[in-house]
Amino acid sequence: MLLHADLTASSMTKNLEFGRLVIWYAMLVVRSCLSPSTNALSTLSQCMSKRQAESLVETPSKKQKLDMAARRFFIGGNWKCNGTLASNAVLTNGLSKGSVPADVDVVVCPTFIHLAETQRALSSSRISVAAQSCSATKPGAFTGEIAASQLVDFGIEWVVLGHSERRAKFGESNDVVGTKVGIAQENGLKVIACIGETLAEREAGNLESVLTAQMNAIIANVKSWADVVIAYEPVWAIGTGVVASPQQAQDAHSFLRTLLATKVSANVAATTRIIYGGSVKPGNCKELAGNADIDGFLVGGASLKAPDFLAILQANGPSRSKL
């Protein structure tokens, strides 16, 4: 046996106990990967003290904390195909009266026909207005399309591209999303590029291959990484009420940051903001925001309620900005 002669019985007991905890936690992590609604840390905490459970979870390193501090928190509100002039007036009035932290970038994304009115309503606030998509074409004989250059002409700075609803319901492939990213940037738009796996893809063990394919199409078309935010949105968590556990979200974001380091550069990996989307609410945003590689949120349903969205804007807290 490869044991030091002076190893005491007490230290042996502690080592064995810690080993059992590590094995038990690993089993729970595997379980959490197979079941998106499972939070390994909370389950583990039921079987041991909170301090013991938290000691097994990786905390941000000094370098990670420095990188986090360098990346401004980013929060987007995707209103999707919701809103009327009357309901939007109520929403924007509530947002205008709320507090927006100075160290957070905030955008809201109304429908195309509500862009101008939303811009006017929020003109005196720190909230910018973004479009939910743009055409993969230039202006011309493309009935029903809205070109990137037209959005810029309209005073729009940001555009959401590759949302899972565009991919699944309107047939936008990885190549189409990549083309849109390139055209948007060529015309001066900043891009919120969305990626994410379905539940079937996750359960089949294809999470990384799906994200890699989606990212490859985006990477090939980016002109300026300073003007790109990556939004990781697991499809199974969008609008379902099921949110990825903080560890599941962190693991996916960490993988994406490593992917950027490998395929682009270490600097791009360290500085690009990667935000999370999928049933984000005031009750779960702070725990999610505490992870080293989560730089904000793309919020769906909760962005349609001014009090909820304003609460989420506070998720980064003073601790992150002062790391």
pLDDT at 239: 83
> Quick check: is 163 catalytic?
yes
Region 110-114: what's the mean pLDDT? 98
Percentage of residues in the chain with pLDDT exceeding 90? Answer: 73
Residues 257 and 287 both lie in one domain: yes
- One-character DSSP codes across 276-301: E-SS--TTTHHHHHTSTT--EEEESG
* Model confidence at 181: pLDDT above 60: yes
Residues 222 and 252 both lie in one domain: yes
Residues 44 and 96 both lie in one domain: no
pLDDT at 31: 46
Q: CATH no. for residue 246?
A: 3.20.20.70
pTM score, two decimals?
A: 0.80
Question: Does residue 4 lie in a domain region?
Answer: no
Question: Does residue 2 lie in a domain region?
Answer: no
Per the structure, the count of domains in the chain is: 2
Structure tokens at 19: 């080993």
- One-character DSSP codes across 12-25: HHHHHHHHHHHHHH
pLDDT at 35: 47
Question: Does residue 66 lie in a domain region?
Answer: yes
Give the residue with greater pLDDT, 244 vs 266: 266
pLDDT at 37: 43
pLDDT at 70: 81
Region 258-278: what's the mean pLDDT? 97
Give the residue with greater pLDDT, 243 vs 297: 297
pLDDT at 2: 35
Q: Model confidence at 141, in pLDDT bands (50, 70, 90)?
A: very high
* Model confidence at 65: pLDDT above 50: yes
Whole-number Å distance between alpha carbons of 109 and 112: 9
Asked if 144 and 184 touch (Cβ cutoff 8 Å), the reply is no
Residues 51 and 153 both lie in one domain: no
For residue 13, which phi and psi values (nearest 5 degrees)?
A: -60, -45
Residues 78 and 43 both lie in one domain: no
Give the residue with greater pLDDT, 89 vs 66: 89
Residues 69 and 34 both lie in one domain: no
Asked if 238 and 198 touch (Cβ cutoff 8 Å), the reply is no
Structure tokens at 3: 């044991």
Whole-number Å distance between alpha carbons of 114 and 111: 5
**Helix, strand, coil % in the chain, rounded to nearest 5:** 50, 10, 35
Which of the following is catalytic: 165, 172, 233, 253?
233
Question: Does residue 3 lie in a domain region?
Answer: no
Residues 43 and 176 both lie in one domain: no
Question: Does residue 1 lie in a domain region?
Answer: no
Is the dihedral angle over the CA atoms 161, 167, 171, 175 positive or is it negative? Answer: positive
Whole-number Å distance between alpha carbons of 258 and 265: 10
Residues 8-64 have pLDDT tens digits of 334 434 444 444 444 444 444 444 444 444 444 444 334 444 444 344 344 556 566
pLDDT at 55: 40
Residues 19 and 88 both lie in one domain: no
> Quick check: is 157 catalytic?
no
* Model confidence at 213: pLDDT above 90: yes
Which of the following is catalytic: 114, 163, 172, 197?
163
Question: Does residue 282 lie in a domain region?
Answer: yes
Question: Does residue 83 lie in a domain region?
Answer: yes
pLDDT at 46: 44
Residues 70-86 have pLDDT tens digits of 899 999 999 999 999 99
Question: Does residue 159 lie in a domain region?
Answer: yes
Residues 172 and 155 both lie in one domain: yes
Region 91-101: what's the mean pLDDT? 97
Arithmetic mean of pLDDT over the chain:
85
Whole-number Å distance between alpha carbons of 182 and 175: 11
pLDDT at 165: 96
Residues 41 and 123 both lie in one domain: no
Domain that holds residue 42: 9-55
Residues 307 and 163 both lie in one domain: yes
pLDDT at 64: 60
Residues 17 and 154 both lie in one domain: no
